Structure 1
Amino acid sequence: MPKVIYGDPDNTLEGDPLTLILTASELAAAVDMDATIRALESSLVDQAHGTATQPAPLSMRLPDADSRYLVMAAASAPRGLVASKLLSDIPDNALAGLPTQRSSIVLADRSTGETLALLDGRVPTRIRTAAMTAVASRHLARPDSRVLGLVGAGALAVAHVEAMRAVLPIDTVVVWSRTAATVDSFRQAVEHHGLEVVRAEGLPELMDASDVVCTLTPSVSPIVFGRLFGEGLHVNAVGARPRPDHRELDAEAMSRSRVVVDSLETALAKSGDLLLAVEEGALRVEDVAGELGQVIAGSVAGRQSREQVTLFNSVGMGLQDLAIGRLLFDAAVERGLGLKVDLSA
């Protein structure tokens, strides 16, 4: 049985490395959204310059259930880490009142291979997803965008408000959800930001009012349509499950936009928004402008005019988990959070 160690600020015991185990509540206490945005932005540049790398995610399934198990990995020289996340996507959990997605992240020292930490994946995934949207919006949306449209009003929507306010002068949020109670809970969760929050009766109203739209639903079929896109809009497609046959946006939405992805290899493995639009002939893979890291590094153009519609196809990357994992691990060590275990015992 592994030894549990308390009161060891250097995270070692007689030369043996210890593994730090961090729960969701401990990770929530260590979150710094501004720092996460900066870390993700620089990590994408590292990837564009070749000092960080990640393979396409591995997606596994068994024949007896509609469940997927994804392994997302990355390595970064500047951050001194190798990381991997196991994401279990189990829709049937909803029938039992359980989370439909669960994940855990392992961080290892890239030089020695020591397992530094095991993190519950819920908080890092939510925060890095919102921070990634903010990075994309900083580089693709019109810089004077003030009205944020949110398709969905759950915990991810709350995180998006904080992240987007860090990069754009947002003063109004227009939000749509199928239930009024969800919108009421969202309103209470973001009221400390002092924003005007408007409940949209339908998606046409939301699209017409917004400068930037984030789609945050686990939709299987399109609920956002390209015919509703106005000039100058920026869309962040975030919510669809990591499956090639699930999507939130129709093919016209993809074809009308300048599309930027976080990772093309990952998008081609698990983005239904992109893959189904290609399958339907609305656009070609070659029509994708490039990866967000390339836009930030200056090798690919982002928004080319004020009138252009831009779209960030967010599918999730192991490098994002690595970047936020580095921040959370360092903050936890500094604050003395977590449980230290000697796995070699």
Structure 2
Amino acid sequence: MKKIRVLIVDDSASVRQTLAAVLGNDPDIEVMGVASDPIAAARRIQDEVPDVITLDVEMPRMDGITFLRKLMAQKPIPVVMCSSLTEQGSETLMQALDAGAVDVILKPKISAADHLAESGARICEVVKGAAQARIGARKPRAFDLRGQDPAKKLTADAMLPPPTGRAMAKTTEMVACIGASTGGTESLRVVLQAMPANAPGIVIVQHMPEKFTAAFAKRLNSICEIEVKEAADGDPVLRGHALIAPGDHHMMLVRQGARYYVSVKPGPLVSRHRPSVDVLFRSAAHSAGSNAIGVIMTGMGDDGARGLEEMKNAGAFTVAQDEATSIVFGMPKEAIARGAAMKVVPLDTIAGEILRASKRG
């Protein structure tokens, strides 16, 4: 199988070296070259076009956002933005996603072995997802991490046991659970902007690094009729509100009486992710059953496929985004293959499906 050819663009020699080592250890990826700034990258692209570019934000001669906009206008190539973990950096990366970047990653910390283990696994997965991205539509190295190999795919069993049957009786409240990854930032915008102020409570897992989820939620809140925020442990799930799982933490749906809350906590990587869609969906099968609506959207891999099946078996109404409107059809495809999706629909009808299902409920 042809390897994914990657061009690394970063003004830091140590970051270029570390990224090259991480990506080069994956048998499916080949580092085509490195560049210290966008001008050098543009010259490199003239000779050979990469499958994916990893792009720093702050660089000499031209910043990454400007280069990204020029690239998308002239020669669209899947771009993954690479940034330090800062509040200011997270706001800038929201601009990068708006400008056409497929995904974001954190710069690997060379001095932290545990961080490098997890971030290396995520970096490789993000690059593979970017290589599959339809931008017109919009084996990792076995590191040892506290006795756990990040490349080993743990299931939601690592966080909570499987559902034992249909959940407790229906209440008057419905809750929508949404999972997305590569391409999900733009797709979630489409869904949430279509939601009216009295929409059912929504809980979301979007694969993003920590810090970035807060900026993402803030941006959505500014353009949506419903309230959108990064979830905190114990937040209630309310009508007209959407909670987004914070990066690097799992989020689970919890029921107390007739009310729903979220539990936000650390834990191992599940389906190679934290937060994991499988963890959210399994908790919905446990706590909400037929009171829940499950939606799986664009993304690389299969996180959420098993959980959506568990939601369906518990009586929930389940939906998958179709291939034509998915940036990457990995996660919905796996869910559909398992028979987990009761309906397969295009992106612009997902909000309507959620609203109709909540009224039937």
TM interval, shorter chain, is: 0.3 to 0.5
TM-score, structure 1 as length reference: 0.40
Which has more strand, going by share of residues? Answer: 1
- 1 or 2 for the larger relative contact order (CA 8 Å, sep ≥6)? 1
TM-score, structure 2 as length reference: 0.39
